[in-house]
Chain A
């Protein structure tokens, strides 16, 4: 009897739907990795026992993660608010430590080797810590999140690990931190900032698509039209015309100087190429300063192509409506898609189960996200809500970017598909994110600070 009452205590207030969805996702993930690694000549049962294949490893990761999840559910929810600051500081220290202790995996020095041949990626963990830290900051009674000052502080908190990630050559991980904008928006970040951000993105794409002079003319024409149409208002308020001219100048400057600077000086050659290829253009690597530096050192700059995206699109496209069937995808069996078990795991699903499969999968994920938003909205505590929206943002960002890049809507950046892609660090991070949220949600009647 005592066990059953424990069970009741344990599960009381925990959102079962999320747990079920979590388990389904992880199971789909193991299955997808199995499809990628499938070899008709080896028996899956023996490889499960010997754990030599990635799907069996992922399976053991999942078991390990479920223990972590249970452990988190058994913790006191106050721990998270209490430790938020320390954890964040520790995370940042770990990230700094990678510059000293880091192990080079796939060209990025963001891993710290730990015992047993496993490697830890602090940047992954930092996502959790940043979420907690941001929640802690916004939920502080003295924080007035309508103020610009608060926005800037929050922005700096997010930018710090992002910048460290960029320094580790993990552009994808750095981009994930922009997901916190969701939580900030929910808490009162002016929509104008999002609009400006969006406009900047449109401007960058326009700068890629059009010739600089053509774009300059278009911008000038738009500015002139606005001035002409609002000529009466300008007569009343001379400042407005200055605002319009100022905006025009900023836009022009962005297109003429900022965008080329980013592509030629900030981004690596291959990154620029990938972004250019998204809009169907070719990037000339000789303009890239980093590529030139590499050349000077004597390193050969490898000219990347869009092989990944091409093969990934073929895999998903060849699935058709009903898919080619479980284990029957030729792209998967022939290992045509690079990094298929990690970043391109969605292709094996799309190839095997077709549109029916991908649609069902996306619907499942959409339901999952909406469920998380519902959880977020039912929180009484600001801390829990900010944290919940951070989780939503992180998940959404990962899903959207990962799937977009496999179907050719976004440049290739190393971002895994949550709970599906192979990788212990990634699975652990998302497990922790979810189960911390569930723990907080279970205590939603409490007001946490």
Chain B
């Protein structure tokens, strides 16, 4: 029997062999032919964790850190492990209710799934942190996770430094290729945004093994494929933290801006915008509480007026007007104009503050006395230059000069969203006055004294001072002088700030005259009573009419006269005379910078000045109505105290300069001139309606008191009060 079936042993072996061949065949297909399983395994098991490097630090010119990094803690939770949590205690500590607890838990699950840690409460305050660490054993699944946040030891330069915030969907779409992820933080404004790529450093990637429930098991391949995080590079700026703090202090309780530039390098020494805010209010746990209120504040504390505010430059333009005329050969320094207190060559006479004969007998005198008639005349000569065939060409030439001085275009400062302000285009005048053949210099006469449609940012004004101080060139204003471990790419980035911007070939003799004139301003002219101890300086005051009420107070200057080290522009909105408010602020900043300290008298002056309240009534009313105290001040000034001061001032309403819109339109404005140069086609309605509109606006803002007087491009003042 066994013999009979003995061949069956062989058959069984064949069957076994076939089975094994099938198995090996499938193994070949799985392990050799297909490669999708390797990918599937990696997708399963490898968890990429991004390691965030420390952000770079920003220093001032003396290597003082304007901002630093500190550690903040987040309360994070792994929902799956959060079982048996003492919710009562937790809710009590966090001051939330059970509903909120559930809501947040669901949010965490949606964002990060059940098995991964998600943020339950970000940026714990030190007290919360202490309470939570003590009680953490009661909250299984919860833990505290470190996070690096910004800290501003000097409580200053909020507008310049900007802030970092969590990226949103828009940001992610814009920066798709740069490796940002939901929940990342990035610079949103200011230097933080401009130098984001340098400050953020290079992220590291760590690969972890993850198990079937998403829990981390340890490093993948002992970290062989990990990349290290490289810390962000530090930025060294030209800023001076003390000058900056002084500028912010002096601008307290005022609306305005101050910019100081080192003319030798173009480096910005200080840039203040008021009302501002304490940068520490927008970091960590403060941010959530503050950001909404700051954004809604009618005084717009987040708005950087220094690069976005557009102001009519007023008389501060006059030195530039003179430079153009001198360079074109239209006048000589000894050119004089016989001014008797008004300029009437274009019909409606424009008022001048000075009546005494000879106050504009030559350029120097005219500058020192800020004679309106003189500069209106000089402007007209430039536009109606016989060299050019018509007013349009003359105007275009004039505009070219202005653009080369840095007006009407973006200077290219290393801050985002700089405004180019306005040097009007001929198209505007064509639209208003028709064919350029029919219009002439009289139509835009007040451009000659920095009014009409001309606007400039405080930064442009400061830059124009640097331009004059340097005898005809400037460096693009910038904050960052150098980057730590600068490589070629960084150097290329900073290259434009290291290149001299010399666009015109104006002989230095012209600047010498202008400087003398501006020096005279500080000796016997409009700013004669303001001194900088130990230094001769050059300056020009400005009192710009504007459609929003009281005149803006402007002051531009540089010092020392012979070897300028600092150029400053200050504007205080709706404050009045340039020499009264803006002047002292600018000179105190220069004194601080040049002498490194203030004399006791100056310090006292600074203290008094900082207490002066020039805040427009509309803003104050808004605060009262919305029951808000302002955040305009650095931390050392208690907000409550400030609001007390304000309340007092509210009561003593007579202490505040009445903000009744001054009727600056003189009677003679409406009288028709019979002078031959008078433009008979001048659309009177346009002018009048503009004035009317302005009046309406003022009244409206007074009634509604909701809109903060903002700077409008269009100025239509035909009668100018110049100091």
Contacts and interface: CB of A to CB of B under 8 A. Distances in A.
Interface string A298-342: 000000000000010111111111000000101101111000000
A359 interface: yes
Interface string B207-224: 001111000011011000
Contacts of B35: 320
Interface string B14-31: 001101101110111011
B26 A330 contact: no
B26 A408 contact: yes
Q: How large is the interface on A (under 10, 10 to 19, 20 to 34, 35 or more residues)?
A: 35 or more
Interface of A: 40, 145-146, 182, 185-188, 311, 313-321, 328, 330-331, 333-336, 350-351, 354-355, 358-359, 362, 365-366, 369-370, 373, 376-377, 382, 385, 389, 392, 396, 400, 403-404, 407-409
Given A186-B8, A316-B31, A350-B27, 11 more contacts: A311-B212, A317-B37, A320-B31, A328-B221, A334-B211, A336-B45, A351-B41, A366-B16, A377-B9, A403-B23, A407-B27
B34 interface: yes
14 contacts: A182-B12, A316-B31, A317-B36, A317-B38, A317-B40, A320-B38, A331-B44, A333-B209, A334-B44, A336-B45, A359-B27, A373-B16, A382-B2, A407-B26
B668 interface: no
Contacts of B44: 311, 314, 330-331, 334, 336
B637 interface: no
A366 B5 CA distance: 22
Contacts of A369: 16
Interface residues of B, number: 41
Contact of A185 (B6, B8, B32, B210): B8
A186 B27 contact: no
A369 B18 CA distance: 13
Given A145-B1, A373-B12, A400-B23, A355 B28 contact: yes
Given A40-B218, A334-B209, A407-B26, A358 B9 contact: no
B690 interface: no
A359 B12 contact: no
B337 to A, nearest CB: 88
A335 B37 contact: no
B73 to A, nearest CB: 27
B13 interface: yes
B46 interface: yes
Contacts of B217: 333-334
A320 B39 CA distance: 11
Q: Chain A binding site: helix, strand, loop or mixed by DSSP?
A: helix
B447 to A, nearest CB: 73
A-B pairs with lowest CB-CB distance, top 3? A317-B37, A330-B45, A318-B41
A335 B211 contact: yes
Contacts of A408: 26
B2 A314 contact: no
Nearest to B19: A400
A334 B31 contact: no
B209 A314 contact: no
Interface in B663-707: none
A355 B2 contact: no
B6 A314 contact: no
A330 B220 contact: yes
A331 B27 CA distance: 17
B13 A331 contact: no
B9 A321 contact: no
A330 B37 contact: no
A138 to B, nearest CB: 10
A321 B31 contact: yes
Contacts of B40: 314, 317-318
Contacts of A146: 1
B2 A316 contact: no
Contacts of A40: 218
B46 to A, nearest CB: 7
A313 B34 CA distance: 11
A285 B393 CA distance: 89
Given A185-B8, A382-B2, A317 B221 contact: no
Nearest to B6: A377
A316 B8 contact: no
